[in-house]
């Protein structure tokens, strides 16, 4: 597929041209879960995140408008716009139901000043037609983004009835490969739990794979070790949310992940320093 210069320029704002890696902080949880702990005030939280100088921030176009002052400064992080939503994270009482819908257009993302868009690809619905519809919408977004020179981050997630199937070593490589063959530029995927199985996902695609944070881990060491192991298995960085803004030192956590991903600082050292 032909890529316009604008596509490469935008992608380089997210994935560093120097080392091919990225640290993205996600604050798009509100459209999925409401005002969760740590994200009650998205403007205040975004301000603290940006003090840590991440490579990019992920949010909806509406939140991008609210935090625009933080995004128009020199050296500001890139913007990844979330343009869809789902309620599969809420433990839906009717397992065969739930939704995943497009809420914004690629043009909306362009108006918001986005450097990329992000969409879900959910696999594992009991109704195959729902999965097929999701895949077709992802393909449509990718096609439309090519017209705008806009990179697409696809979030391939395996789900089970009524809940999210996190770190499923069977579904993650399958969903990642489908998203890759649909034309994704970057994948935001779950870490499978160990380097051996995750490397299967990385080998199955030839685009950057950033790992999702998922629920907040029990300890700092757990969070950092997950990233360290994933990077050794071929991950190119992270897209984290709760493991950053549900901490008592948001900007410090961002800086720690930047050191871990871009500088190779050890998980044990970072956990020790932040625990003091």
CA atoms within 13 A on the CB side of 273: 14
User: Is 188 in the active site?
Assistant: yes
Helix boundaries (H) for the chain = 5-14, 30-33, 42-51, 61-66, 68-71, 106-112, 128-148, 171-182, 195-203, 220-232, 242-245, 250-258, 267-275
Closest CA to 198 of 233, 240, 159, 155: 233
CA distance 160 to 76: 38
**Residue 238's Cα: distance from chain center in Å?**
7
- State the catalytic residue, choosing from 94, 96, 188, 216: 188
By annotation, the residues acting in catalysis are: 188
């Amino acid at each position: 597929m032909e890529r316009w210069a604008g596509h490469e320029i935008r992608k380089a704002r997210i994935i560093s041209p120097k080392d091919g890696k990225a640290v993205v902080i996600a604050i798009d949880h509100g459209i999925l879960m409401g005002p969760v702990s740590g994200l009650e005030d998205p403007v205040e939280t975004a301000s603290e995140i940006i003090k840590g100088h991440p490579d990019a921030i992920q949010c909806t176009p509406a939140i991008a408008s609210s935090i625009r002052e933080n995004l128009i400064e020199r050296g500001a992080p890139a913007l990844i716009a979330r343009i869809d939503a789902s309620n599969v994270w809420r433990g839906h009482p009717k397992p065969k139901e739930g939704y995943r819908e497009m809420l914004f257009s690629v043009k909306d993302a362009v108006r918001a000043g986005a450097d990329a868009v992000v969409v879900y690809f959910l696999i594992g619905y009991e109704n195959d037609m729902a999965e097929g519809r999701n895949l077709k919408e992802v393909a449509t977004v990718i096609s439309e983004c090519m017209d705008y020179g806009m990179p697409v981050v696809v979030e391939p997630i395996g789900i089970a009835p009524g809940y999210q199937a996190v770190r499923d070593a069977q579904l993650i490589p399958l969903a990642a490969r489908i998203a890759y063959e649909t034309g994704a530029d970057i994948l935001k995927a779950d870490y499978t739990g160990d380097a051996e199985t995750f490397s299967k996902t990385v080998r199955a695609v030839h685009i950057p794979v950033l790992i999702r944070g998922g629920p907040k881990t029990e300890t700092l060491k757990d969070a950092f070790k997950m990233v360290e192991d994933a990077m050794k298995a071929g991950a190119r960085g992270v897209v984290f949310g709760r493991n950053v803004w549900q901490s008592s030192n948001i900007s410090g956590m961002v800086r720690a992940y930047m050191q871990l991903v871009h500088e190779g600082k050890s998980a044990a050292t970072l956990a020790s320093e932040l625990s003091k």
